[in-house]
Amino acid sequence: MESAPPVYSNIELICQGAEARIFRCLYFGRRAILKERFIKTYRHPDLDSAVTLQRLKGEVRLLTRAKQLGIHTPSIYHIDWSKRTIIMEDLYDSRTVKSIIDTLIQENNTMKLDELAQQIGSTIGCLHQAQIVHGDLTTSNMLLSENNQLYLIDFGLSAHVPNKTQMLEALAVDLYVLERAIICTHQKAKHFFSNILMAYKNSISDDKQRTLTMNKYEEVRARGRKRSMVG
């Protein structure tokens, strides 16, 4: 995967976030996505290189691990550590779950919404059982292909959390981030998150982990509500 230098062309900037720029390109004539983690000038160059390399390696490792678990993620074509870039599969035949939910709400298609919630919940459950948190679970970071396969994208904030106490907190926060994203973005999608949560709980085979995670999730929600009330 890393033996040959990248050959890419037709580069087009799609978006830029706090950590990286995302481009569409052609990689050896194939449609691809190029993700570049850019230099943070406010950090010392040595520190910036070390932090960026660590995060890049973590993203690649957890993208690969998620795929091994059976979760659909973009395939990685090439990594250039010196240029801080990953070239990966362009899922150009897919749509964001955000846009799909909006369409299904307009169509009043509750059956498809329920099926989508089931997919999302079971996918996150699979990830969490492997002690992996995504770190930025929003419906914009989920894609649905033409054949209805759910993909998780953007593992830039993902982490493997083996420590039990830290893991429960991280899993609960992951769920709470998704809940808040859905409430803010899809206000008309009634019961959508509760259906996700039901599928999530059903996918967790370890009864103890399920109970502990849900208890911690309720704690995180309570803290979130308290912060909202305080302002």
| Under 8 Å between Cβ of 79 and 63 | no
Architecture (CATH level 2) of domain 95-230: Orthogonal Bundle (1.10)
- Is a pLDDT exceeding 80 seen at residue 7? no
pLDDT score, position 19: 87
Catalytic residues: 136
Distances (CA, A) of 143 to 123, 146, 151, 192, 219: 12, 10, 5, 17, 30
Which whole number is the average pLDDT over 102-121? Answer: 97
Average pLDDT, stretch 207-214?
Answer: 96
Output 104 or 40, whichever has higher pLDDT.
Answer: 104
CA distance 159 to 173: 13
The CATH H-level (homologous superfamily) assignment of domain 8-89 is: Phosphorylase Kinase; domain 1 (3.30.200.20)
pTM: 0.91
Domain residue extents for the chain? 8-89, 95-230
How much of the chain exceeds pLDDT 90, in percent?
A: 85
At position 174, the amino acid (one-letter code) is: D
